[in-house]
C-alpha cells in the first residue's frame, strides 16, 4: 500500500460518507445487520466501489467483516468509529452556518 493511500481514500467524498453513514446506521440500529449493499444505496455509490473502499478500510483496521452464512456483515472497529466521529465533526465545522 502506498504511504498516503488511506488518507487519500478517506478524504474523498464517497469514502468519508461511507464511514459516517455506517456509524450513523449502527447508532440508529445497533443490533441490526449492516451490509455493503445497503451502504452503497445510502451513499449513492456502486456496490463494487463500496467493496473496494471497504477493503482499504479493512486493511487499515477501520472496519471488519463478520461472516453469517453466506452474508458478510459490516462492523466498525473502535478506530473506525473514532475516525467516523472525527469526520462528522470536520463536516459539521466546514458546513456550519
Instruction: Summarize pLDDT for 35-53 with one digit per residue, the tens.
Output: 999 999 999 999 999 999 9
Tell me the fold of 5-95. Arc Repressor Mutant, subunit A (1.10.10)
Residue 68's φ and ψ, nearest 5 degrees, are -135, 90
How many C-beta atoms lie closer than 10 Å to residue 39's C-beta? Answer: 23
**Nearest-angstrom CA–CA distance, 69 and 63:** 19
What does the alpha-carbon distance between residue 67 and residue 10 come to, in Å, rounded to a whole number?
25
pLDDT at site 11: 80
pLDDT bucket at 3, cuts 50 / 70 / 90: low
* pLDDT tops 60 at residue 1: no
Q: What's the pLDDT score for residue 4?
A: 66
The residue count of the chain comes to 97
Q: How far apart are CA 73 and CA 40, in angstroms?
A: 14
CA distance 24 to 8: 22
Q: Give yes or no for a contact between 83 and 19, defined as CB atoms under 8 angstroms apart.
A: yes
> What are the boundaries of each domain within the chain?
5-95
83 pLDDT higher than 80: yes
Strand-pair partners of 76: 63
What confidence score (pLDDT) does residue 49 get?
95
User: How much is the pTM?
Assistant: 0.85
Amino acid at each position: 500500500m502506498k504511504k498516503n493511500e488511506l488518507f487519500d481514500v478517506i478524504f474523498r467524498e464517497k469514502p468519508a460518507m461511507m464511514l459516517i453513514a455506517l456509524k450513523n446506521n449502527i447508532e440508529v440500529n445497533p443490533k441490526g445487520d449492516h451490509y455493503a449493499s445497503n451502504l452503497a444505496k445510502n451513499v449513492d455509490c456502486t456496490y463494487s466501489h463500496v467493496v473496494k473502499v471497504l477493503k482499504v478500510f479493512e486493511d487499515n483496521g477501520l472496519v471488519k467483516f463478520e461472516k453469517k452464512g453466506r452474508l458478510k456483515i459490516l462492523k466498525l472497529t473502535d478506530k473506525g468509529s473514532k475516525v467516523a466521529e472525527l469526520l462528522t465533526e470536520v463536516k459539521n465545522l466546514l458546513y456550519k452556518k
